[in-house]
């Protein structure tokens, strides 16, 4: 092979050598008055050795100039993302106030009595105040078809009013929340006062041990692990401290039958990390660690019901139930 063709092949970005350059290079390499005569029976490798050396230098230079491929960054697992989110939540300072309040939007898809496939929405409020005050109410918002075909049929039928929705029951526009009955109950046999709830451990192992102190198989039909998971799940959306709620995330993440996933069906707009069980998902903000909501899944993985957290925290504003809301306040 022509030695300059070799050089050209390893340096494809260089312009090809001209005929004059090739001739001059050959003369410099092979010609010379001081070259000793070749003895009989031996071949001269001087020219070939020089060419090989030149090629080696060029190849070496090319290798040095070509950047090495960057190392692929290690993939961050969903569990590592959850751990980071939990640490962020635990470090979040709490607002001060006399009342703790949680506002959620309840959404579910079902088939109503008129045969329409509808999406029902309602507002749910639960709040705790000093002197064992509790507030809680459920207020229907809307009910309408959610598929294009169903919406078309509904309009062809004259857009009849679908209930439950605002205005369906003028005598009871809002009614007491189902959560009002359980108050701070986390599980069967575990209903700590607000002060005790606020003092629960902020480390997963210690939190697990403290919760299990209240497990009594004689007052619950579930086994110990399902009971513990239920308590931790309710703790996440309670007035517990950010550190305790973060510990509950990690407790659940390591529980049997639960996995951490980073892709949730966005049927109801939830987008975040999820603690997933066979029943559904607890969805958490990747950046702040705040609870975004929950959603329930069909066996095929389709979200059909959700609870979206709209607001949660402490303030000095006393909750005021809607007018005509019966039994929407009580005391623990």
Which pLDDT tens digit goes with each residue over 22-32? 455 445 434 44
> Structure pTM?
0.76
Dump the DSSP string for 70-130. PPPPPPPPHHHHHHHHHHHHHTPPPPP-SEEEEEEEEEEEEE-TTS-EEEEEEEEEEEE-G
Question: pLDDT: is 24 or 89 the higher one?
Answer: 89
| Rounded mean pLDDT, 90-116 | 92
Residue 88 has pLDDT above 80, yes or no: yes
Task: Using the structure block, give the residue that is written with the tokens 């999820």.
Answer: 274
The mean pLDDT of the chain is 84
> C-alpha angle 196/187/328, rounded to 5°?
80
Q: What is the pLDDT of residues 254-267, one digit of tens each?
A: 999 999 999 888 88
The pLDDT value given to residue 31: 45
Q: Which among 320, 315, 292 is positioned nearest to 104, based on CA atoms?
A: 292
Section 119-123 average pLDDT = 97
Percent of the chain predicted with pLDDT > 70:
78
pLDDT recorded at residue 223: 94
Q: Measure the CA angle with vertex 122, ends 304 and 320; round to 5°.
A: 150
Rounded CA separation 79/259 (Å): 9
| Residues 6 or more apart whose Cβ sits within 8 Å of residue 186 | 192, 211, 230, 231, 234, 235, 238
| Average of per-residue pLDDT across 117-137 | 95
Rounded-to-integer distance, Cα 138 and Cα 126, Å: 9
Higher pLDDT, residue 75 or 281: 281
**pLDDT higher than threshold 60 for residue 215:** yes
Structure confidence by residue, pLDDT tens digits, 160-201: 999 999 999 988 899 999 888 788 999 999 999 999 999 999
pLDDT for 23 equals: 53
So what's the pLDDT on residue 11? Answer: 44
Handedness of CA 111, 112, 118, 123 (dihedral sign): negative
CB 92 within 8 A of CB 245: no
> Residue 113 has which token pair?
């009595």
Structure confidence at residue 24 (pLDDT) = 52
pLDDT of residue 4: 43
Q: Residues 290-328: pLDDT tens digits?
A: 999 999 999 988 899 999 999 999 999 999 999 989 999
d(CA 32, CA 150): 95
pLDDT in tens, 40-79: 444 444 555 544 555 455 545 444 555 666 666 678 999 9
Q: Could you report how far apart the first and last alpha carbons of the chain are, in Å?
A: 94
Write phi, then psi, for 128 (nearest 5 degrees). Answer: -125, 140
- Identify which of 146, 123, 132 has the alpha carbon closest to the alpha carbon of residue 322: 123
Distance (Å, whole) CA 65 – CA 80: 38
């Amino acid at each position: 092979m022509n030695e300059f063709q070799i050089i050209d092949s390893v340096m494809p970005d260089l312009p090809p050598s001209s005929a004059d350059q090739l001739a001059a290079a050959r003369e410099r390499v092979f010609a010379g008055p001081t070259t000793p005569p070749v003895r009989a029976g031996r071949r001269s490798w001087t020219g070939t050795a020089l060419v090989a050396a030149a090629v080696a230098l060029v190849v070496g230079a090319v290798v040095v100039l070509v950047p090495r491929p960057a190392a692929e960054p290690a993939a961050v697992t969903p569990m590592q993302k959850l751990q980071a989110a939990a640490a962020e939540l635990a470090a979040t300072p709490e607002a001060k106030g006399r009342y703790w309040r949680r506002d959620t939007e309840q959404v579910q898809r079902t088939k109503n009595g008129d045969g329409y496939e509808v999406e029902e929405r309602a507002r749910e409020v639960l709040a705790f105040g000093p002197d064992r005050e509790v507030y809680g109410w459920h207020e229907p918002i809307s009910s309408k078809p959610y598929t294009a075909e169903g919406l078309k049929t509904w309009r062809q039928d004259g857009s009849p009013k679908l209930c439950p929705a605002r205005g369906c029951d003028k005598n009871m526009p809002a009614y007491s929340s189902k959560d009002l009955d359980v108050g701070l109950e986390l599980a069967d046999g575990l209903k700590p006062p607000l002060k005790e709830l606020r003092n629960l451990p902020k480390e997963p192992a210690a939190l697990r041990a403290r919760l299990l102190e209240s497990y009594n198989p004689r007052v619950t039909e579930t086994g110990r692990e399902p009971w513990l998971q239920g308590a931790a799940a309710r703790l996440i959306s309670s007035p517990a401290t950010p550190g305790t709620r973060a510990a509950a995330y990690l407790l659940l993440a390591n529980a049997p039958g639960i996995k951490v996933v980073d892709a949730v069906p966005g049927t109801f707009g939830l987008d975040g990390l999820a603690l997933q069980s066979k029943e559904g998902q607890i969805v958490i903000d990747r950046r702040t660690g705040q609870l975004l909501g929950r959603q329930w899944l069909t066996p095929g993985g389709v979200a059909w019901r959700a609870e979206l957290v709209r607001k949660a925290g402490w303030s000095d504003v006393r909750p005021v139930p809607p007018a005509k809301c019966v039994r929407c306040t009580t005391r623990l």
